[in-house]
């Protein structure tokens, strides 16, 4: 391609890259605005202005991606805009906006594990949203790596942003595991480049050359490349950072970690899987050769997440292990490697947005109302003190378990139905093991998910030797958290509201 053609392609691609340009410019504006605002107005007004600007920025980006007419490749096959990418970007923008709103309407007093967030967190969240947006569009290994690194750097900073020892420790652990996963991912990418001669996942030569390689070698290279994705997905074996980072990070930050990076990482993983050939006349690597290792990793994530959550005493650590288990459930649809499975993954991501954010917010609000930290035992007896929040949290816990009448049941039903259909076509015993053990894990998860509702309604409030200051529950934040529960019920009753969008959009 001549230089003139390359320039024309770059100019034409800018139309589909508008939301990302908007987020980049807004990040710079937020940094300057923070410096200006702190000099001309009180700190409380500064926070309100920055929060309002940040919410507006991510909402504009979310609306822009839906209304933008551009579809197809951008910047010479570095990026690709399709409906799946747009759906993931909408989920990311909506989760960022909700997290920002919750933080804006929640008092920032020092209390237990909820330290005050510095002003820099607004610009860092916008920068992380930018990285996630680019990540969802990436179909080139170079753009995938750069976008993951942007997301990772922002994640490290957000984890260690508050000035306490636990945050610093969590941020360092997050950084160390992130560096290891990035190194492994780069090694895998170098192997894939050596095998195929291209970094473009959508190039015909990519699948054709992999089909000529030894199956074991190509599979190992792809799994090594997936290290960075499993790191952002909190998937086994790159999940170790999750409980420490979630416990150290403030609740709004941990809530965003639970959904934003997962929505982007699972889409990139699906792009890699679909880039592989369906069959090979040379006996080389195909998409089906990844089914068994991915099924093992999904099953390991479900088992490790659920079994580790059983002995947790801190609510945020419990939810962290829950996200590890749900990362395994997200992989179930990918393992199926059929259209129904990929649609089930996107449906799972869309519904997990409401479930996960509601869980973090409601746990935080209930602990705040009791003037306690986030230990699980401190929730005893709060059902009568905060009935609305307690009932809402019970519904969310049922959704995390995967029980009706919540959309968590629908999401798991779609995923495991697609998995069973794949087993009938392939006869792979690992798919059957994932199907049976994955469903049985719902019984294990019942033990710890329903522990908090049990304490809320069936145990008296513990007496305290030292009185603690109970903060009033902020009404707007409470209604925001309860409002997130409404789609959990509504999408169970009418899942076609989301399914129709995913199938026919």
Judged against a pLDDT cut of 50, whether residue 472 lies above it is answered with: yes
* Other CB atoms within 10 Å distance of the CB of residue 125: 26
Q: How far apart are CA 226 and CA 268, in angstroms?
A: 9
The pLDDT tens digits of the residues spanning 35-78 come to 998 898 888 888 889 999 999 999 999 999 998 877 888 888 88
Q: Is residue 423 part of a domain?
A: yes
Give mean pLDDT, residues 474-484: 91
428 close to 289: Cβ distance less than 8 angstroms: no
- Per cent of the chain over pLDDT 70 is 93
Q: How far apart are CA 407 and CA 221, in angstroms?
A: 36
500 is in which domain, residue-wise? 303-505
Q: How far apart are CA 482 and CA 396, in angstroms?
A: 10
Distance of CA 270 to the CA centre of its chain: 15
Q: Whose structure tokens read 């009180």?
A: 42
Judged against a pLDDT cut of 60, whether residue 113 lies above it is answered with: no
State the alpha helices, DSSP H only, in 234-290. Answer: 242-248, 251-257, 260-275
Dmax (CA) for the chain in angstroms is: 77
**Mean pLDDT of the chain, nearest integer:** 88
247 close to 314: Cβ distance less than 8 angstroms: yes
Distance of CA 460 to the CA centre of its chain: 35
User: Which pLDDT value is given to residue 111?
Assistant: 42
Backbone angles phi, psi at 267, to 5 degrees: -70, -45
Q: Is residue 249 part of a domain?
A: no
The pLDDT tens digits of the residues spanning 124-174 come to 999 999 999 999 999 999 999 999 999 999 999 999 888 778 888 888 889
Q: How far apart are CA 223 and CA 289, in angstroms?
A: 11
Using alpha carbons, select from 399, 163, 433 the residue that is nearest to residue 292.
Answer: 433
Give mean pLDDT, residues 321-332: 94
User: Which pLDDT value is given to residue 498?
Assistant: 86
Cis check: omega of the bond before 405, within 30 degrees of 0: yes
Q: How is residue 489 written in tokens? A: 């019920």
Give mean pLDDT, residues 199-226: 88
User: Which pLDDT value is given to residue 470?
Assistant: 61
Give mean pLDDT, residues 270-296: 79
The pLDDT tens digits of the residues spanning 376-416 come to 888 888 888 889 999 999 999 999 999 989 999 999 999 99
Name the strand (E) or helix (H) holding 80.
strand 79-81
User: Which pLDDT value is given to residue 110?
Assistant: 41
Q: How is residue 59 written in tokens? A: 């909402």
226 close to 297: Cβ distance less than 8 angstroms: no
Q: How far apart are CA 381 and CA 369, in angstroms?
A: 12
Q: Is residue 281 part of a domain?
A: no
User: Which pLDDT value is given to residue 505?
Assistant: 54
Judged against a pLDDT cut of 60, whether residue 115 lies above it is answered with: no
Q: Cα–Cα–Cα angle for 322, 501, 441, nearest 5°?
A: 25
In the chain, the number of structural domains is: 1
State the alpha helices, DSSP H only, in 14-82. Answer: 18-40, 43-67
Q: Is residue 263 part of a domain?
A: no
CA distances from 232 to 59, 151, 209, 240 (A): 23, 9, 28, 12
Q: Is residue 58 part of a domain?
A: no
């Amino acid at each position: 391609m001549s230089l003139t053609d390359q320039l024309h392609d770059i100019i034409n691609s800018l139309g589909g890259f508008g939301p990302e340009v908007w987020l980049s410019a807004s990040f710079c504006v937020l940094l300057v605005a923070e410096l200006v605002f702190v000099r001309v107005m009180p700190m409380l007004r500064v926070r309100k202005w920055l929060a309002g600007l940040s919410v507006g920025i991510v909402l504009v980006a979310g609306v822009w991606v839906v209304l933008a007419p551009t579809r197809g490749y951008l910047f010479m096959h570095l990026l690709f805009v399709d409906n799946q990418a747009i759906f993931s970007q909408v989920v990311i923008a909506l989760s960022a906006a909700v997290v920002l709103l919750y933080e804006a309407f929640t008092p920032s007093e020092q209390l237990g594990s909820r330290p005050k967030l510095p002003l820099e967190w607004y610009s860092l969240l916008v920068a992380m949203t930018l990285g996630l947006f680019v990540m969802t569009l990436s179909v080139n290994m170079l753009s995938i790596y750069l976008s993951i690194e942007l997301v990772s750097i922002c994640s490290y900073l957000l984890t260690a942003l508050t000035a306490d020892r636990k945050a610093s420790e969590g941020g360092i652990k997050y950084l160390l595991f992130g560096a290891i996963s990035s190194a492994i991912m780069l090694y895998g990418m170098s192997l894939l480049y050596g095998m195929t001669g291209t970094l473009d996942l959508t190039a015909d030569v990519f699948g054709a050359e992999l089909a000529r390689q030894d199956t074991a070698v190509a599979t190992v290279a792809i799994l090594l490349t997936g290290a960075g994705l499993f790191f952002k997905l909190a998937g086994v074996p790159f999940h170790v950072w999750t409980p420490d980072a979630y416990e150290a990070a403030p609740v709004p930050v941990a809530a965003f970690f639970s959904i934003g990076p997962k929505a982007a990482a699972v889409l990139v993983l699906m792009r890699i899987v679909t880039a592989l050939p369906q069959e090979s006349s040379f006996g080389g690597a195909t998409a089906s050769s990844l089914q068994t290792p991915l099924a093992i990793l999904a099953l390991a994530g479900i088992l490790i997440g659920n079994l580790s959550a059983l002995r947790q005493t801190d609510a945020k650590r419990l939810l962290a292990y829950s996200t590890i288990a749900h990362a395994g459930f997200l992989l179930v649809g990918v393992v199926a490697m059929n259209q129904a499975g990929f649609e089930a993954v996107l449906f799972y991501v869309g519904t997990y947005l409401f479930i996960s954010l509601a869980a973090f917010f409601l746990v935080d609000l209930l602990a705040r109302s009791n003037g306690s930290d986030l230990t699980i035992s401190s929730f005893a007896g709060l059902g009568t003190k905060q009935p609305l929040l307690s009932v809402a949290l019970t519904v969310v816990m049922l959704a995390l378990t995967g029980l009706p009448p919540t959309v968590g049941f629908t999401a798991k039903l779609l995923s495991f139905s697609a998995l069973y259909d794949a087993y009938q076509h392939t006869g792979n015993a690992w798919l059957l093991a994932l199907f049976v053990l994955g469903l049985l894990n719902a019984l294990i998860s019942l033990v710890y998910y329903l522990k908090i509702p049990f304490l809320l309604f069936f145990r008296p409030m513990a007496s305290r030797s030292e009185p603690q200051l109970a903060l009033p529950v902020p009404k707007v934040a409470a209604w925001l958290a309860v409002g997130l529960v409404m789609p959990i019920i509504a999408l169970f009753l009418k899942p076609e509201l989301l399914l129709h969008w995913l199938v026919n959009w």
